[in-house]
Amino acid sequence: MRGEILAGASRLLSELGGGDGLTIRGVARAVGIAPASIYQHFVDREALLRGLSEHEFGRLREVMRVAEEGAGDAVGRLRAQVHAYCAFAVENPGHYRLMVGHGAVRSGAGSAPVGPLMDVVAGLRVGFERCAEEGRASRVPAERAAVMLFVGAHGRVALLHSNPGETRPEAVGSFVDELVDLLLV
Residue 88 lies in a domain: yes
Residue 148 lies in a domain: yes
Nearest by Cα to 184 from 79, 110, 99: 79
60 lies in which domain range?
53-183
Residue 12 lies in a domain: no
75-97 in b/e burial notation, b at 16+ Cβ within 10 A? Answer: bebbbbbbbbbbbbbbebbbbbb
CA separation for the pair 72, 182 (Å, rounded): 20
67/105: higher pLDDT: 67
In the beta sheet, which residues pair with residue 113?
107
96/106: higher pLDDT: 96
Nearest by Cα to 125 from 117, 163, 23, 169: 117
Residue 15 lies in a domain: no
Question: What amino acid is encoded at 59 in this protein?
Answer: R
Residue 179: φ, ψ to 5°? -65, -45
CATH number at residue 69: 1.10.357.10
CA separation for the pair 36, 46 (Å, rounded): 15
Residue 34 lies in a domain: no
pLDDT of residue 75: 97
Residue 110 has pLDDT above 80, yes or no: no
Residue 123 lies in a domain: yes
Q: What is the DSSP letter of 78?
A: H
pTM reported for the whole predicted model: 0.88
Residue 61 lies in a domain: yes
Q: Which of 20-24, 58-62, 161-165, 174-178 has the lowest mean pLDDT?
A: 161-165
* Number of independent structural domains in the chain: 1
pLDDT of residue 169: 81
